[in-house]
Amino acid sequence: MAAITSIPVSPPPLSILKILQQPRSLIVLVLLMWLPLMLNVMLAGSISETVRPYLLLPAIPSALILYGVGVLSWRESPIAIIGLTLIFFWLIVAVSVPFLPLVDPNKPIAPFAPIGAVKNNHYFILGADFKGRDMLARTLWGCQRVLVWGVTATLVAYLVGCIFGLVAGYLGGWWDQVISFIANVLLSFPVMVLFILIMNYLGASGFNIVIAVTFASAPAIMRIVRGLTFDTKNRDYIFAAQTRGEHPLRIMIYELLPNARGPIIVDACLRLGYTTVAITTLTFLGLGLQPPDPDWGLMIKEAANVAKSPQFAYMLLIPALSVSSLILGFNLIADGLREMSLRD
C-alpha cells in the first residue's frame, strides 16, 4: 500500500474524495475528531475554563467530513451505511453537544415532568427524570462517556491482544504455551464474573473499565490474531523477509499484521458493540462510571427503582433505546464489512 502511493512519477490529478480516502488524511481527520473528545471526557477537571468551550470546535467538521467519506466509500453496502449513520449520529452529537441549545444536564428543574410538558419556563421535549433533570440534555450528553470509554477500552484491548497474539503465533514454542495458558484461565471465566471481580478489586472508574475490558477481551483477540498468524507465517513473503534478515518484531508488525487486518477489523466492530454493552451494564450494576454526570447505564440504574409505573417508563426506555441504537450501528457496520469482504 505504502509503496504504491509513494511512487515519485507525476501522480494523476486526485479528486477531493480520493485525497480524503488516503490513510494519511483519514488518520488526521480521526485524530482531529477524537483527541478533543477524549480530552474533554477524560481530563474534564483539569482543562482550564477558557479553553474548554473551544476544544470541541475542530471535531465537528472532522466528524461531518469523515461521515461523508464513509458514506461515499461504502456505497455498495446499504447495511454498512445505516450502521455508519447511527454511529455518526451519536459521534456528531458527542462533539457538538456543548454548542446545542440545551439546559445543564445536572440541573434539577421540575421532577417527574412528563414528555412534552412545560414547567418552570422550560419545555421538556423528552420529559424530566425523578430529580427534575431534562431527559433530552441527559440523553445527548450521555453518549460522550460511553463512546470515549468504549472506544478507548476496545483499542487498548486490541493493542494488548494483538501483541500477545503475534508473539504466541509467530514465535510459538514456550511463548505460545505460557500465553495460551493465561488466556485459557481468563477465558474460563464468564465475562460478567470477571468484570465484577476486577471492578470490585480496582474500584469503579473509567480507567478501571479500560483495564477490566482489556482483561476480558484481550484473550479472545489474542486467539484470533494467533490463529491468523499461524495461517500467514508460512507464506513466501514471510520467508523472504526472514531471509532478508528482518527483525522478528518488524516482521510481526509490518508483514503479518497488515495481512491479517480484514477479520480483525470486522471483529473490532463487533467488539466495540460488546464493550458498549459491558460499560452500560457495569454502570447499571453500580460498578462502572459514577454519578452525577449523565450516562445511559446510570440513567437506567437511577430510574429503575422509581420509574416502574406506566407513565414514567420513558425514563428507562429512552436511555435503553439510545444504547441499543449505538450497538446496532456497530453490529450493522461489522455485517456490512463482512459482506463487502466476501464480495471481493
Partner 1 sequence: MLKLIASRLLQMVLIMGVVSALLFFIFDSDKFKKQIAVAELGGFAVSALSDQDYQNWLERKGLNVPFYERYAKWVGGILTGDLGKSYQTNEPVATLVADRLKKTGILGFWVFALMIPLSLTFGIIAGMKEGSAQDRITSFISIVTTSLPEIATAVILMSIFALWLRWLPANSAMVGGWNWLALVLPVMTLVLYDFGYVARMTRASMAEVMTSQYIRTAILKGLPYKRVILRHALRNALIAPFTIIVLQMNWLLSGVVVVEFFFQYAGFGKLLLDAALFGDIYVIQAATLVAVFVAVLSQIISDVGYSFLNPRIRFS
Q: Give me the DSSP letters along 22-86.
A: SHHHHHHHHHHHHHHHHHHHHTGGGS-TTTHHHHTTTHHHHHHHHHHHHHHHTTT-HHHHHHHHH
| Per rule CB under 8 A, count of chain residues that contact partner 1 | 38
As measured in angstroms, the least distance from the Cβ of 270 to partner 1 is 10
285 binds partner 1 (CB under 8 A): yes
332 binds partner 1 (CB under 8 A): yes
**Other CB atoms within 10 A of residue 142 CB:** 29
Q: Measure the CA–CA gap between 98 and 40, rounded to whole angstroms.
A: 11
16 binds partner 1 (CB under 8 A): no
**x-or-dash string of contact with partner 1, 156-195, rule CB under 8 A:** ----------------------------xx--xxxxxx--
273 binds partner 1 (CB under 8 A): yes
As measured in angstroms, the least distance from the Cβ of 143 to partner 1 is 15
33 binds partner 1 (CB under 8 A): no
Q: Which residues pair with 129 in a beta bridge?
A: none
Q: Is 204 left (phi over 0), alpha (psi -120 to 50) or beta?
A: beta
Let me know: does 137 contact 102? Beta carbons within 8 Å.
Answer: yes
201 binds partner 1 (CB under 8 A): yes
320 binds partner 1 (CB under 8 A): yes
Let me know: does 142 contact 295? Beta carbons within 8 Å.
Answer: yes
Look up residue 38 and give its three cell numbers.
477524549
Stretch of 52-60, 126-134, 246-254, 324-332 lying at the interface with partner 1 (CB under 8 A)? 324-332
Among 52, 125, 308, 341, binds partner 1 (CB under 8 A): 308
Let me know: does 290 contact 204? Beta carbons within 8 Å.
Answer: yes
3-state secondary structure of 174: helix
108: buried, middle or exposed (CB in 10 Å: 19+, 13-18, 0-12)?
A: middle
Among 45, 309, 343, 344, binds partner 1 (CB under 8 A): 309
As measured in angstroms, the least distance from the Cβ of 17 to partner 1 is 29
Among 97, 134, 284, 302, binds partner 1 (CB under 8 A): 284
As measured in angstroms, the least distance from the Cβ of 298 to partner 1 is 12
Cβ-proximal residues to 137 (8 Å cutoff; 6+ apart), any chain:
102, 103, 104, 105, 294
Among 37, 331, 333, 337, binds partner 1 (CB under 8 A): 331
3-state secondary structure of 134: strand
327 binds partner 1 (CB under 8 A): yes
300 binds partner 1 (CB under 8 A): yes
Q: Is the Cβ of residue 39 or residue 328 nearer to partner 1 in the bound state?
A: 328
54 binds partner 1 (CB under 8 A): no
- CA distances to 153, 185, 275, 324 from 200, rounded to whole Å, are 18, 19, 18, 26
205 binds partner 1 (CB under 8 A): no
340 binds partner 1 (CB under 8 A): no
**Residues near partner 1, by CB under 8 A:** 184-185, 188-193, 196-197, 200-201, 273, 276-277, 280-281, 284-286, 297, 300, 304, 308-310, 313, 316-317, 320-321, 323-324, 327-328, 331-332, 335
